Homo-oligomer: A and B are copies of this chain.
């Protein structure tokens, strides 16, 4: 039977990438990483639990991808460049097919961002995946939530609602045609962390956040921390194509409060519109202006004709 050390050696220990700033990787009491002069370290941590963040029959390679993607998304929202990550894994058994698929999906994404696995832990227990990611960003250019200013434009990357649509189909709340299901499932299972956009927005954007619990709820964290308000045009928020056959109400709810989108929402001065578009072009990432930061507290929703839209939206909360 596969021992803990064999398991790590076979599925998780790999040569460090050339030019890595990792002096010591897997196999000592700690990993050792050389910080770059002038940079702050950015650290984020996400835990994924079976039955809570993913279904027991999830595609395992996609789970490997998503486990790292949600962490890279946090770096992106800070404008940080990925450096390395640790993985702690609790597994019911040392299932080699599972380990091979998981590590394949994980490392495909890690390689894309030259972000090596430098340490971690493996144990037996209910399936649980905990990744801590390390990145770097110059302190003055970090995209803090509190940095939104009155008058800033509000922007989003990509499109929203498809991950929530896939979830609804998995929960048998709705039925989807195969093409829509495939597209929606890809968004749920293999989110694209907007790392290129995040780093391109350094020195241009003010505040940023990644959208994991729903656009309006997560934008609310920016408003709260920056002590500002906002008005958004809900019709301007890009809705994923797989949602086009759905009712207006469902489209709006899934787009504005669906969760699991892993897009960035960011603010930037109106004077920087061309720079934002240039940064987005350089990052090959579509961005859309959806509203403005204003001084009156709270979030106001309007439609394309500037009429108020009344929606009761709930962000995801693990304990409510």
Report A's interface with B, CB cutoff 8 A.
1-5, 7, 23-24, 27-35, 37, 39-47, 49-53, 74-75, 77-78, 80, 84, 86-91, 93-94, 118-126, 128, 130, 132, 134-135, 137, 139, 142-146, 208-210, 225, 317-320
Chain B residues with CB below 8 A from A24, complex form: 142, 144
Q: Which of B37, B124, B142 contacts A318 (CB 8 A)?
A: B124
Contacting pair B29 A44 (CB below 8 A): yes
Contact A29 B209, CB 8 Å, known A35-B41, A317-B4: yes
Please name the residue on chain B nearest to A225 by beta carbon.
Answer: B27
Q: Which residues of B contact A53 (CB under 8 A)?
A: 123
27 residue pairs bridging A and B, Cβ less than 8 Å apart:
A2-B319, A3-B317, A4-B318, A24-B142, A27-B145, A29-B210, A31-B44, A32-B41, A32-B78, A34-B40, A35-B39, A41-B134, A43-B84, A43-B132, A45-B86, A47-B121, A47-B128, A47-B130, A49-B126, A51-B125, A52-B90, A52-B124, A88-B130, A121-B130, A123-B318, A124-B318, A126-B126
Bound CA span A47–B134, Å? 18
